Amino acid sequence: MTRPVKLLLTAGEASGDRLGAGLIRALRRRLPDQTLELMGVGGRLMAAEGLESLFDMSELSVLGLFEGVRAYPRIVRRADDLAALARRSQPDLAVLIDSWGFSLRVARRLRRLTPPVFVVKYVGPQVWASRPGRARTLAGAVDHLLSTQSMDAPYYAGLGLPVTFVGNPALTMDLSGVDGARSRARLGLGPDQPLLLVLPGSRAAEVARLSEPFGAAAAQLAADIPGLSVAVVVAPTVADQVKAEVARWTVPVHLIETDADKLDIMAGCTAALAASGTVSTELALCGAPMVIGYRIGAVSYTLLKPLMRTRFVTLFNIAADREIAAERLQALCTPEELAAALRPLLTDPQLRSRQIAAQTEALGLMGLGQADPSDRAAEALIQDLRSQGVLPRA
């Protein structure tokens, strides 16, 4: 009997947890006779695939410069904990998913072990958007990059880091069972009743900063648009916080707490107000026109803004090189600005149709319709395991 393949996996937020779970499933499909021994940190989706997390993933969810400074001792301690786990367990390979700052600290510690662990970074820092110097930093810390964006590879040319483009996993969501009408029926809404979906984020700092302007914008719209209903997606990583914040809103809301209900409501909403992030791609796939709002700390923004290399923060806006979905960031992320951007989407069917079509076209530029990125990532890891002598060469 062959020995188990030992994998150390780390994910620090909900999107990384989804990537990790998909990767584990894809590895098992490709290695049906091989036992996988999983260790590291992840969320509930990776736990469902057999990962026993060393600590709660929410400890790694950090947003902004000052939040990072305050969290630094905890992040360092948790990176040390994972390095100690690797020293005890001697994994064959480490896969560090997203979470740039934490992943970098873990990678550097794994490099100092004897023998060092072969380290794969799954999702690189967005060097094409800001701080391209991070490409050289990453090349010195890991052995292989699994890239989810086609814009990544040129930044690593000549740095000696192998880059495998696997595609964006968000583009391969299974939408076959999604039913927008079902979500409306569940909420007691008619097919033509306006429904605003609000997604305030999956990080504590996001929810803290966005809840007030998002809630006030929803209240303004509810006062202006007859029959408007409001639903709020509750991310499991910040469920208690979101519920506490929403309880202070002046507009009644429906809470959406399961993944299946989330996709249904995305497909069934009239328009969405969302925090910047992976969720914008999910909304576009479900055919939801949206407005993007976001805030980070004022000092953090002042320091980061000169480093930005793109005009937009939403991936499909970047791919299309135009503002398909309105972005209201920082000083523009106010109830008045958000409501003004959303009101036409909620009241003009033709405008909604045009934005949905433009969003879908931009998803094509991002790679919609390509092979499953989880499968491609799994195949790349299997090749790494073979090159390290962990698995026999094909």
306: how many CB neighbours lie within 10 A of its CB?
Answer: 7
**Dihedral sign, Cα of residue 199, residue 204, residue 210, residue 215:** positive
Tell me whether residue 299 is exposed, middle or buried, using C-beta atoms within 10 angstroms of its C-beta: 0 to 12, 13 to 18, 19 or more.
Answer: exposed
Tokens found for residue 189: 């809404």
354-363 confidence digits (pLDDT tens): 999 999 999 9
**pLDDT-flagged residues of the chain (< 70):** 1, 62-69, 299, 301-304, 306-307
Residue listed under structure tokens 């409001």: 230
Domains and CATH numbers, the chain: 5-167+371-387 (3.40.50.2000), 180-366 (3.40.50.2000)
For the chain, helix, strand, coil in percent to 5 are 50, 15, 35
Residue listed under structure tokens 């060469």: 393
Contact 18, 103 (CB under 8 A): no
Identify the pLDDT of residue 304: 66
Contact 92, 4 (CB under 8 A): no
Identify the pLDDT of residue 316: 94
Nearest-5° Cα angle at 269, 365 to 344: 80
What distance in Å separates the CA atoms of residue 122 and residue 134, rounded to the nearest whole number?
A: 15
What distance in Å separates the CA atoms of residue 357 and residue 188, rounded to the nearest whole number?
A: 28
Contact 110, 116 (CB under 8 A): yes
What distance in Å separates the CA atoms of residue 16 and residue 60, rounded to the nearest whole number?
A: 11
Contact 262, 186 (CB under 8 A): no
What distance in Å separates the CA atoms of residue 142 and residue 103, rounded to the nearest whole number?
A: 10
Length of the chain: 394
Q: What is the DSSP letter of 200?
A: -
What distance in Å separates the CA atoms of residue 378 and residue 375, rounded to the nearest whole number?
A: 5
Identify the pLDDT of residue 174: 84
Comparing CA positions, the residue from 243, 312, 314 lying closest to residue 274 is 314
Contacts of 150 (CB under 8 A, 6+ apart): 165, 367
Tokens found for residue 160: 């000696």
112-156 confidence digits (pLDDT tens): 998 999 999 999 998 887 788 999 999 999 999 999 987 888 899
3-state secondary structure of 116: coil
Identify the pLDDT of residue 68: 60
Contact 156, 6 (CB under 8 A): no
What distance in Å separates the CA atoms of residue 167 and residue 147, rounded to the nearest whole number?
A: 7
Contact 199, 208 (CB under 8 A): no
Q: What is the DSSP letter of 269?
A: -
